[in-house]
Amino acid sequence: MLVVVAIYALMSFFVAERTREIGVRMAVGATRGAVLRMVLMQALRLGAIGGAIGLAGVAATTNLTAHLVYAVSPSDPATTAGAILFLLAIGLLGSLGAAIRATQALGAE
């Protein structure tokens, strides 16, 4: 739960930090949809990098964590993929929520 809250807060912070940039983009003609797509693509890129680092971590620590998990192999691909996709979804939701707030605060139609 702590990781979920941290990822959500971090992604929201990254978007909130760029509120001025979003405002400038909208002032020169960017639509709300274009801004949301931009934010989500950047969040997806960060999530993919984090997922790749996570996969490397899983591969490196499989032997160390073998005795910590019950009834699941430490290198179970379904569990690993599920965890990565879940955390990626949390990051996208955090970014989307912050982007919607930023575009609404800037008076987007």
DSSP the chain: -HHHHHHHHHHHHHHHHTHHHHHHHHHTT--HHHHHHHHHHHHHHHHHHHHHHHHHHHHHHHHHHTTT-SSS-TT-HHHHHHHHHHHHHHHHHHHHHHHHHHHHHTT--
> Domain boundaries in the chain?
2-105
pTM for the predicted model, two decimal places: 0.75
In the chain, pLDDT over 90 holds for what percent of residues?
4
- Per residue in 61-89, pLDDT tens? 887 877 777 777 777 788 888 988 998 88
